């Protein structure tokens, strides 16, 4: 049973997270690199929630109201949370929509950091005392890389994914690996952030292999042979449970993964890994050019590189200290020094150009984009090793409460001053809300643009629809911009073309005068152009629930049943043999 002091100390984690976001509360949001993208995504999702669409796939406002399948490809957990926070805050009495959407990113950041602290506490508690675990939680939630992600990048999906990495490490580093314990963090990672999920999947495989390798020890005596057979059996059991848990995790996330994997052929997904987003442009301290964009890129890369050197150096020193403590028998032999050292060493190698051949051959590794994203796995190792080392030193951690708050403040203050991004007037949350509520629409996202569409050919301020004898005709001047209607009745003076301000995509089902799938004329900008006859016509549009989505839903439902059965079985008390 958890003691009362330990229960009380748990409140230190949200308090430490509050210290980390206090500069945002006092001075407003940091408009990092992805701030606009996430905020407009949350607003789009919130609007569709309000209209009863609780699991949207198509975003209508991007591409200047022509839309894109953003929700098919961006994992749902972060935009669900952001949208729900925005909706909740806008419905509080006395809170204006502008104030609500200004507060939503700050509250999101606090929730993500708090969740990261709790999951880190769970990981550390398996190897350290309660006081040391509390310190580990604070070190993790306020570590330089997480604050860099929050302040400099505003990468809210990756920030939330940081909460699941300690759970993944706990699942593979614990004494007894379980299938549900592995499946849940795997599913949560894939449903939160793709780069973090790719990183987590490879880290899981590496740590499992390291643990298996550590069980093989030479020996020729009968006792050694018997022990080796036992270790071999345990090693196979670990591999089986890890692989089964990983596959079950993928199945739990199948309602997102299967449509995203299948429909990537319909969009320009390769645009996510071009130019400065390529692996070879983002190794430590890389220089990419002298243009303003290149200089800005290199400045961000320089900050990430310094954080990497700091965290990797601290990890190396701490793991050596823990290894020395183990040799002196002052530390528990169960602490996984070797697997964690292998992980840190490999990450250090992958951050250099020497690893180019691995990046070019590892499946889906290109979508990690920035090698320094591997610091997402380095940071919890740092917090765990620091807490474990301090727990074994002859010092008292009785003042953990004050230490935790002090550590959070000491890490936050320099990070905020170094990483905070000022907001241009057009980038503030009220300005983004005003843009979203207007009928102008937002810029397209290159990697979510349909394959038959050219963003350079797409014009802003297109009306919802227009008629023209040419299917490739531009919109008439002096029209009011807007999204294409889902139902439309009109009378054409002669046979002509109806052009909709809507990007053509295979999931759209269109009926013209009751007949399905009318002929669509190609346009360079990817908008839908339909020949219509003279006289009255009725048009209907519907975004279909496609076969790949139905398959993903079915697989996830089956996986949830399997998970429930596995959890029920694992919770039953084992009878004594």
Q: What is the pLDDT of residues 71-94, one digit of tens each?
A: 999 999 999 999 999 999 999 999
509: left (phi over 0), alpha (psi -120 to 50) or beta: beta
Predicted pLDDT at 399: 67
CB of 262 within 8 A of CB of 548?
A: yes
Alpha-carbon gap, residue 548 to 553, rounded angstroms = 9
| Residue 516 burial by Cβ neighbours in a 10 Å radius (0-12, 13-18, 19+) | exposed
Instruction: Compute CA 464 distance to the chain's CA centroid, rounded to the nearest angstrom.
Output: 33
SS (H, E, C) 48-61: HHHCCCCCCCCECC
Instruction: Beginning with the edge strand found earlier in the chain, give each strand of the sheet holding 535-543 in spatial order.
Output: 487-492, 535-543, 508-512, 515-516
Residue with tokens 């230490």: 403
Lowest mean pLDDT among 74-83, 217-226, 254-263, 545-554: 217-226
Q: What is the pLDDT of residue 577?
A: 38
Element (DSSP H or E) covering residue 310: helix 292-327
Q: Is 545 helix (H, G, I), strand (E, B) or coil?
A: coil
For residue 148, the 8-state DSSP code is: I
Backbone torsions φ then ψ of 433, nearest 5 degrees: -65, -45
Instruction: Judge whether 455 and 47 are in contact, CB under 8 Å.
Output: no
Length of the chain as a residue count: 577
Between CA 342 and CA 333 the distance in angstroms is 17
The DSSP symbol for 281 reads G
Phi, psi torsion values for 536, nearest 5 degrees: -75, 140
Contact 96, 146 (CB under 8 A): no
In whole angstroms, give the CA distance from residue 521 to residue 266.
17
The most distant pair of C-alpha atoms in the chain lies apart, rounded to whole Å, by 96
Q: How far apart are CA 382 and CA 162, in angstroms?
A: 14
Least confident of 167-176, 231-240, 316-325, 432-441: 231-240
What is the average per-residue pLDDT within 447-476?
Answer: 95
**Position 228 pLDDT exceeds 70:** no
- Asked whether 114 and 13 are in contact (CB, 8 A), the reply is yes
Convert the pLDDT of each residue in 85-126 to its tens digit: 999 999 999 999 999 999 999 999 999 999 999 999 999 999
| pLDDT interval class at 1 (50, 70, 90) | very low
Averaged pLDDT score across all residues of the chain: 91
pLDDT at position 324 over 90: no
Residue entry with tokens 């949830």: 560
Q: What is the pLDDT of residues 197-221, one digit of tens each?
A: 999 999 999 999 998 887 655 444 4
How far apart CA 476 and CA 491 sit, in angstroms, is 18
Q: Which of 541, 426, 545 is nearest to 483 (CA)?
A: 541
**Gyration radius of the chain over CA positions:** 26
Tokens of 544: 């279909």
pLDDT digits (tens, 9 = 90+) for 151-192: 999 999 999 999 999 999 999 998 889 999 999 999 999 999
% of the chain at pLDDT higher than 70? 92
Which pLDDT does position 5 carry in this prediction? 45
Residue 4 has pLDDT above 90, yes or no: no
Rounded Cα distance between 29 and 153, Å, is 12
- Rounded Cα distance between 46 and 43, Å, is 5
Cα–Cα dist 104/89, whole Å = 7
> Which residues make Cβ contacts (< 8 Å) with residue 248, sequence separation at least 6?
179, 180, 182, 183, 186, 187, 559, 562, 563, 566
Q: pLDDT value at position 170?
A: 96
């Amino acid at each position: 049973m958890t003691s009362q002091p330990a229960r009380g100390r748990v409140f230190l984690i949200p308090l430490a997270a509050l210290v980390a976001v206090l500069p945002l509360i006092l001075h407003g949001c940091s408009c990092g690199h992805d701030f606009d993208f996430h905020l407009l995504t949350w607003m789009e999702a919130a609007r569709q929630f309000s209209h009863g669409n609780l699991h949207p796939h198509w975003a209508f406002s991007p591409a200047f109201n022509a839309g894109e399948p953003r929700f098919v490809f961006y994992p749902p957990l972060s935009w669900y949370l952001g949208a729900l926070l925005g909706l909740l805050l806008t419905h509080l009495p006395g809170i204006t929509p502008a104030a609500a959407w200004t507060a939503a990113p700050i509250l999101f950041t606090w929730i993500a950091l708090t969740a990261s602290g709790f999951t880190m506490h769970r990981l550390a508690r398996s190897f350290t005392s309660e006081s040391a675990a509390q310190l580990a939680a604070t070190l993790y939630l306020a570590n330089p890389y997480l604050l860099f992600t929050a302040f400099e990048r505003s990468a809210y999906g990756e920030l939330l994914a940081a909460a699941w990495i300690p759970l993944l490490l706990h699942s593979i580093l614990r004494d007894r690996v379980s299938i549900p314990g592995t499946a849940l963090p795997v599913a949560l990672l894939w449903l939160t952030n793709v780069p973090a999920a790719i990183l987590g999947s490879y880290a899981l495989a590496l740590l499992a292999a390291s643990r298996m390798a550590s069980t093989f020890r030479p020996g020729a005596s009968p006792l050694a042979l018997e022990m080796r057979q036992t270790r071999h059996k345990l090693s196979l059991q670990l591999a089986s449970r890890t692989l089964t848990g990983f596959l079950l995790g993928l199945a739990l996330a199948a309602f997102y993964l299967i449509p995203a994997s299948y429909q990537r052929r319909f969009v320009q997904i390769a645009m996510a890994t071009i130019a400065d987003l390529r692996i070879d442009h983002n190794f430590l301290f890389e220089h990419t050019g002298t243009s303003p964009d290149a200089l800005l890129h290199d400045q961000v890369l320089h900050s990430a590189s310094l954080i990497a050197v700091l965290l990797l150096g601290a990890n190396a020193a701490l793991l050596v200290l823990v290894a020395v403590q183990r040799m002196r028998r002052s530390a528990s032999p169960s602490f996984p020094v070797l697997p964690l050292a292998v992980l840190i060493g490999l990450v250090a190698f992958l951050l250099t150009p020497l690893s180019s051949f691995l990046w070019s051959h590892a499946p889906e590794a290109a979508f990690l984009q920035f090698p320094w994203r591997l610091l997402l796995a380095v940071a919890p190792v740092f917090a765990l090793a620091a807490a474990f080392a301090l727990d074994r030193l002859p010092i008292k951690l009785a003042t953990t409460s004050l230490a935790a708050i002090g550590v959070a403040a000491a890490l936050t203050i320099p990070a905020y001053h170094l990483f905070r991004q000022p907001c241009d007037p057009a980038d503030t949350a009220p300005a983004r809300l005003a843009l979203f509520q207007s009928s102008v629409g937002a810029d397209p996202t290159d990697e979510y643009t349909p394959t038959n569409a050219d963003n350079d050919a797409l014009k802003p301020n297109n009306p919802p629809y227009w008629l023209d004898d040419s299917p490739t005709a531009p919109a008439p001047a002096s029209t009011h911009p807007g999204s294409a209607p889902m139902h439309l009745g009109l009378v054409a003076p002669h046979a002509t073309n109806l052009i909709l301000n809507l990007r053509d995509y295979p999931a759209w089902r269109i009926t013209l005068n009751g007949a399905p799938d009318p002929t669509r004329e190609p346009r360079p900008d990817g908008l839908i152009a339909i020949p219509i006859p003279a006289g009255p016509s009725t048009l209907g549009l519907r975004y279909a629930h496609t076969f790949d989505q139905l398959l993903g839903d079915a697989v996830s439902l089956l996986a949830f049943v399997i998970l429930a059965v596995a959890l029920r079985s694992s919770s039953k008390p084992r009878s004594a043999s």
